[in-house]
A and B are shown apart, each in its own frame.
Chain A
Amino acid sequence: MDFEPSDDQRLLVESVTRMLGDTYGFTQRKGYMALKEGYSPAVWAQFAELGLLGLPFAEEYGGFGGGAQEVMLVMQAFGRVLVLEPYFSTVVLGGTAVNVAGSAAQKQAILPAIAEGSLKLAFAHGERQARYDLTDVVTTAKRNGSGWVLDGSKTVVSHGEAADKIIVSARTGGDRYDEDGITLFLVDAGAAGVARRGYLSRDDTRAADISLSNVSVTEADVLGGVGQGLAVIRRVVEAGIAASAGETVGAMEAMNEMTLEYSKTRVQFGNPIGSYQVVQHRLADMFMTQEQGRSMAMLATMSIDNPDEASRTHDIALAKVGIGQAGRYVSQSAVQMHGGIGMTEEYAVGHYFRRCMVIERLFGDPAYYLAKLAAEVG
């Protein structure tokens, strides 16, 4: 075991941090929120320039050959400043789906375009009735000559409006809840029959509901084996859990630093509130929780490439519960320690709170994974 980042990883973090230091002050971020995209295309171009958009892709596809650890470190840096750009949906979710299931031709068509910043993806799996159940898919894909026709709707698709291509799951066989019979399709966002209704999410990013009405795709748009999509979806979800765990660690660090600083400067009853032991102990608890959460983000990261499915699933579930609970505790405490100012939209801490809240619910909340773990006890 060795938990120290390598020199290359350190350099990566340094360069990302430097770039975010220039581009991602809280006031700058407010400016990006106000743009029509809800994020900054200029910053997105800088991500491309820095190589971040191709980070986890093989060099033959214009990538940098990074792995889960590099993604975790970048996401951690993103979490510290609450990056708004569709990195998670494009590179982590979409990128993983193409990496895991794509043919050489699909990879060649998609990954280099992502890496250079000209293509954005969204991962449209969740449906209105499904809550967290990955097998609950009722969107259909029916054979039509040599292609397929998709019908159905997807909900709370992160960055669904921004995407140029949407990865859509649909039933090509079996019934609702069946593990077999789910297939993934690459759908052009502009294809006839695709309608997107965008809205603001609690974390300041944009999401969309997407309806598919008689949408035609070709055989070449099938991602992975027909009816074999669930295994891919699970890998995408696991990569998403690991990456967003890293993001949560960054957000917790930022909140803890902010809270510590505030406790040194906010004077009440003649002393900085950080001089009071009751506040100090809460800060100590927040720090301990952050470190336990960091351990869980590391667990998720080290698990996603574990070929043993049972132990991978188990460890990911442990990590998901742990990081979710940690993020919740630190966020709630950070607002509490700030008092009234922590309640304001103007101040940063509430934005971190809400990002952690959204991540906690991504692909299942702690209660959902705790129930899965409970089922395995004994």
Chain B
Amino acid sequence: MDLRFTPEELAFREEVRTFIRENLPADTRDRMKLGHPPRKEDTVRWQRILNAKGWAALSWPKEWGGPGWSAIQKMIFLEENLMAPAPELLSFNITMLGPVLLQFGTEEQKKRYLPRAANLDDWWCQGFSEPGAGSDLASLKTAAKLDGDHYVVNGQKIWTSTAHNADWCFLLVRTDPNARKRQEGISFLLVDMKTPGITVRPIISIDASHHLNEVFFDDVRVPVERRIHAENKGWDVAKYLLGNERTGIARLGKSRERVSSAVSMAREVNFGGKPLIEDPVFRQRVAQLQVDMKALEITQYRVVSAYDKAKGAGKPDPLSSVLKVKGTELLQATSELAVDVSGPYATPIWAQELEALNEPDDMMEASSAGTGGYLMLRAASIYGGTNEIQKNILTKAVLGL
């Protein structure tokens, strides 16, 4: 046991921090400091900068452009990137599609899709959830029928994040409606979003943003060579995808960034005739969050260092469910803190009309963006397997019930 960072790990953190400080475009940084989510162009530009440095394809092998980092180094990078704050790597490309192609893809599929995914030349989205298949993913109904050398896809996906930005979609479809078990009739397809028959319809979420979509498939023809792994074996691929990459799942850097943003705003706003930062109740709330963040930070390093020790060969660590639950609870608690600090300024929606009315007003803009983040992060305990599902997983995997 050595519970300290090695000098190499500390030096690595410094290297990452310096690189981000020197290379993150100023306009991206300024917007994100105010709490805005990154725009599409922010994400694309930053991922290309990172990819040029060899830092984008995080957990991919070196031959496919990966940085060859240990899990702890990855963790450090993800933390620093979130705390900057800088746009996150597009998880659909980097932590979902990439590892799936590396595990199940043919050489040709890897060559065709991996480099473009790393450089964000293709923006991918995830076609999993359906109106009737949320946490119970295996009940999905979107059908794919073989017709010569094409599948013909019909059905509907929902909650498809960034489908409106996407060039490609990795899609779970039912290829055998008569399979003995529901999980056995599912296949995993790669679909070009420009294919005729695809309709993307926005779902505006409670933060007033367009992040989510419904995607309709109407006789969409997908070449057979765009299937990953064997027909009717798509569930294995999906399980691998969902269990594979949990390193950054707690997004602790984001929680830390929310707290430090709240603390700096608390110096500017008054409470009882004094700066809010002087209020003991506020300070105690921050202190409690620091306790919880520290516990999660160490649990997270325990998980990733075990991963490094096992050379990544082990099964997904059930502790990663702890990271998901505790991480999202903290994302919600810290973004809630930020909104509470904003007080009445949390309510206006910063949009073109307000921008036109006001002189630049960082406080109002940051408050509005902070509220947007708070509202959006209610989804954190829902996506990627709800926290209730995570507890079911823990109950089975760890407790054996």
| Residues in chain A within 8 A of chain B (CB atoms) | 1-6, 9, 69, 260, 263-264, 274-275, 277, 280-281, 283-285, 287-288, 291-296, 298-299, 301-302, 315, 318-319, 321-322, 325, 370-371, 373-378
Contacts of B306 in A (CB 8 A): 3-4
Question: In angstroms, how far is the closest chain B Cβ from the Cβ of A231?
Answer: 23
| Bound CA–CA A243/B263 (angstroms) | 33
Report whether B401 and A3 are in contact in the complex, using a CB–CB cutoff of 8 Å.
no
Out of B263, B280, B291, B395, name the residue touching A322 (CB < 8 Å): B291
The interface stretch among B43-51, B164-172, B296-304, B339-347 is: B296-304
Instruction: Give CA–CA (A285, B280) in the complex, Å.
Output: 29
Q: CA separation between A277 and B388, bound complex, in Å? A: 10
- Closest chain-A Cβ to B135's Cβ sits at a distance in Å of 13
In Å, the complex CA distance between A283 and B394 comes to 9
Known: A281-B395, A284-B391, A302-B4. A2 touches B291 (CB 8 A): no
List of B residues within 8 angstroms of A6 by Cβ: 1
A-B pairs, top 10 by smallest CB distance, nearest first, are: A302-B3, A295-B298, A373-B287, A374-B283, A284-B391, A292-B295, A280-B395, A284-B394, A374-B284, A374-B287
Minimum Cβ distance to chain B for residue A138 (Å): 28
- The answer to whether B388 touches A298 (Cβ under 8 A) is no
**Which residues does chain A contribute within 8 Å of B302, judged by CB atoms?**
3, 295, 298
Residues on B with beta carbons closer than 8 Å to the beta carbon of A287: 322, 394, 398-399
Which residue in chain B gives the minimum CB-CB distance to A373?
Answer: B287
Most chain A CB inside 10 Å of its own CB: which residue of B1, B302, B319: B1
Q: List the A residue with the shortest CB-CB distance to B298.
A: A295
Interchain nearest-CB distance for B234 vs A (Å): 28
Distance in angstroms between the alpha carbons of A82 and B152 in the assembled complex: 65
Question: CA A292 – CA B280 in complex, angstroms?
Answer: 26
A161–B290 CA distance with the chains assembled, in angstroms: 40
Query: Which residues does chain A contribute within 8 Å of B263, judged by CB atoms?
Result: 377-378
Among candidates B2, B5, B283, residue contacting A375 with C-beta atoms closer than 8 Å: B283
* Of B72, B287, B391, the contact of A285 (CB 8 Å cutoff): B391
Contact (A283, B277) CB under 8 Å given A1-B4, A374-B284, A377-B263:
no
Give Cα distance in the complex from A274 to B396, angstroms: 11
Interface string of B278-321 (1 = CB under 8 A from A): 00100110111011101111110110011001000000000100
- Residues on A with beta carbons closer than 8 Å to the beta carbon of B291: 318, 321-322, 325, 370, 373
Cα(A292)–Cα(B322), bound, Å: 9
B9 at the interface (CB under 8 A from A): yes
Contact between B299 and A275, CB atoms less than 8 A apart: no
The answer to whether A280 and B4 touch (CB under 8 A), given A1-B72, A295-B299, is no
Residues of B within 8 A of A283 (CB): 395, 399, 401
What's the Cα separation between A277 and B392 when bound, in Å?
Answer: 8
Q: Which residues of B contact A315 (CB under 8 A)?
A: 294
Since A3-B1, A4-B306 are in contact, a sample of 8 more A-B pairs with Cβ atoms closer than 8 Å, ordered by chain A residue number, is A9-B1, A274-B401, A295-B298, A298-B3, A318-B294, A322-B292, A377-B283, A378-B267
Q: Counting CB contacts under 8 A, is B144 at the interface?
A: no
With contacts A2-B2, A281-B388 taken as known, whether A296 is within 8 angstroms of B295 at the C-beta atoms is yes
Q: Which residues of A contact B322 (CB under 8 A)?
A: 287-288, 291-292
Q: Which of B366-401 contact A (CB under 8 A)?
A: 388, 390-392, 394-395, 398-399, 401
Which one of A277, A285, A318, A319 has the highest number of Cβ atoms from chain B below 10 Å of its Cβ? Answer: A318
A2 & B1 in contact (Cβ 8 Å cutoff): yes
A37–B252 Cα distance when bound, in Å, is: 49
Least Cβ–Cβ distance between B93 and chain A, in angstroms = 28
Interface centre among A1, A287, A292, A295 (most CB of B within 10 A): A1
State whether the Cβ of B358 lies closer than 8 Å to any Cβ in chain A: no
Q: Is the CB of B287 within 8 A of A377?
A: yes
Check: B6 CB closer than 8 A to any chain A CB: yes
With known contacts A280-B395, A284-B391, A322-B291, A296–B283 Cβ distance under 8 A: no
Inter-subunit contact B309/A4 (CB<8 Å): yes
CB-CB nearest in chain B for A324: B291
B143 on the A face (CB < 8 A):
no
Q: Check A280 against B6 for contact (C-beta < 8 Å).
A: no
Q: Which residue of B lies closest to A301 (CB)?
A: B3
Given contacts A280-B391, A284-B391, A295-B302, contact A373 B290 (CB under 8 A): yes
Q: Is B256 part of the binding interface, using a Cβ–Cβ cutoff of 8 Å?
A: no
CA distance in complex: A283, B5 (Å): 33
Q: What A residues does B4 contact at CB under 8 A?
A: 1, 302
12 contacts between A and B (CB under 8 A): A2-B2, A2-B3, A3-B305, A5-B1, A274-B401, A280-B392, A283-B401, A284-B395, A299-B298, A322-B294, A373-B287, A377-B277
Q: B296 touches which one: A1, A5, A9, A292 (CB < 8 A)?
A: A292
Residues of B within 8 A of A296 (CB): 294-295, 298
Cα-based distance from A13 to B342 in the complex (angstroms): 51
Instruction: Kindly state the separation between the CA atoms of A5 and B326 in the bound complex, as whole angstroms.
Output: 25
Query: Would B401 and A280 count as touching, CB distance under 8 A?
Result: yes
